[in-house]
Amino acid sequence: MILSGGSGTRLWPVSTRERPKQFIDLVGTPLFEATLDRAGRVADDGRVLVVTGSDHVDAVEEALSDSDLAATVLVEPSGRNTAPAIIAAALSADPADVLLVMPSDHLITDTSAFVAAVGDAVAVGAGGSLVTFGVVPTRPETGYGYIEKGDPFGPAFRVTRFKEKPDPDEATRLVADGRHLWNSGMFLFRASALLEEAERLAPDILETVRASVSDPVQGRVTLGARFITARSISIDHAILESAKDVAVVPLHAGWSDIGSWQSVSEIGEQDEAGNILIGDVVALDVKGSYVRSSSRIIAIAGVDGLVVVETPDVVLIIPKDQSQLVRDLAAHVEQSRRAD
C-alpha cells in the first residue's frame, strides 16, 4: 500500500500542493516511481493499493501506466491523515493479505537492506502483530518521532513506547541510549489484524470509512463523500500507540523522508566547497550551499550555508539551517500575495 497525499510545501517552490515532492525529480528519479520499484520487489503478483487525492490521481495513474504492477487506486475526496487512508486500504484488501504501508515521498538508497527488513517484518506480522519500521538513528534529530524498542521478538523487538518529536537535549539522550529508533512512518500487518484493532480503538473511523469504500471500477475506487467526515488522525495516534501487539523492525537502509531543503542538500553529490549547484549557476566564493536554477542564470558570491531555489514563478532564499520555515513562508505567500 502506497500513501501518496500531502501538500508538498516543505520543498516549495519546486514542490507545490498541485504537484508535491513525490512527483518531482529531486534525487535522480521521482520518489513515487522509486516507491513503485520497491513495491514491485516485495508485492506478491505485483498487487499494489495506492491512496491519493483527486488532485494527484492523474499523476499517480500516469506513473502506474509505465509499471507492471497490478494497481488499485483509492481516491480520497479530501485528505484525512493516515488512519482513514490505511483503514480504507485494509478494507479494500483481502482480510488475509499482509499489507506493507509505504509513504511515496521517502528516499531509501539501500533497496536490498529494505527488502531484507520487509522479510523480517513479514515473519512477525503474518502472525498477527502490527509491525512498524524504526530507522537506526545517525544523529540527534528533533524533526522525527521515536520508537523505544523492548525485548527481542523474533527478528524484531517489542515496542515499549512511541515518543513524540523531542527537544534537542532529549534527542541527544534518545540516540545515545541505543534503545530508540526514528519512526519511519512505514508499517506492515495483516489487513484483518489492523481492522480488528480499528474496531476496538477507532470504531468511529472504521464505520465512516467502511461506508465510503466501494468496489473498484477500472482499477479505481472513488471514496464516498462521507470519507470527509472521518476523524483526521495518524495511524500512530489512532491505533498503534494503544494496540496490544506492536513490534518494530530496525531499518538501516539509507532512509530519509526528504522533509526539507536541508535534507535534500545532504543527499546529492557536493563539490569541493560543500555546494550542490543544479542548473545554470555561477558561484564565486560560495560554501556549503544548495543552489537550484530551472529557468535563468543564478549568480551568487561570498555566502555560506544558503538554499537558493529558482522557478519561473518564485525565487526562494533562506539559510540552510532555517529551512523548516519554508512551509510557513509558502503559506504566507499563498495567503497574502496572489493565487498564481
285 and 250 in a common domain:
no
Q: Looking at residue 65, what is its pLDDT?
A: 93
Same domain flag for 107 and 18: yes
**Residue ranges of the chain with per-residue pLDDT less than 70:** 337-340
What's the CATH number where 138 sits?
3.90.550.10
240 and 322, same domain (yes or no): no
- Note the pLDDT of residue 339: 57
Q: Give yes or no: residues 270 and 240 share one domain.
A: no
Q: Which of 204, 230, 256 is the last residue of a domain?
A: 256
Q: How many domains does the chain have?
A: 2
Report the DSSP beta bridge partners of residue 99. Answer: 189
pLDDT tens-place string over residues 298-311: 999 999 999 999 99
Secondary structure letter of residue 77 according to DSSP = S
Residues 280, 170 share a domain: no
**51 plus 143 within the same structural domain:** yes
Amino acid making up residue 65: S
Work out the number of other CB atoms within 10 angstroms of the CB of residue 196: 18
- Are 217 and 276 members of one domain? no
Q: Which of 256, 282, 303 is the last residue of a domain?
A: 256
167, 173 contact by CB (below 8 A)? no
- Residues 6 or more apart from 117 whose CB is under 8 A from it? 133, 249, 250, 251, 253
Per-residue pLDDT tens for 128-157? 999 999 999 988 888 899 999 999 999 999
The pLDDT value recorded for residue 268 is: 80
User: Are 32 and 126 in a shared domain?
Assistant: yes
CB contact at 8 A, 111 and 41: yes
Q: Are residues 309 and 181 in the same domain?
A: no
Residues 132 and 21 in one domain: yes
C-alpha cell at 227: 470519507
How far apart, in Å, are the Cα atoms of 164 and each of 146, 161, 327?
6, 10, 20
Q: What is the mean pLDDT of the chain?
A: 94
Q: What is the pLDDT of residue 311?
A: 95
Examine the domain organization and report whether 215 and 319 are in the same domain.
Answer: no
In this prediction, residue 122 carries a pLDDT of 97
> Which residues are within 8 A (CB) of 105 and not within 5 positions of it... i.e. 6 or more apart?
4, 6, 20, 21, 22, 31, 32, 257, 258
pLDDT score of 290: 97
For residue 65, the surrounding DSSP H or E stretch is helix 57-65
pLDDT on residue 340: 58
Question: How many other CB atoms sit within 10 Å of the CB of residue 105?
Answer: 28
Single residue among 256, 276, 310 that ends a domain in this structure: 256
What pTM did the predictor assign? 0.92
Please state the φ and ψ torsions of residue 212, each to the nearest 5 degrees. -100, -15
What pLDDT shows up at residue 9? Answer: 85
Per the structure, the complete domain to which residue 148 belongs is given by 2-256
Residues 172 and 311 in one domain: no
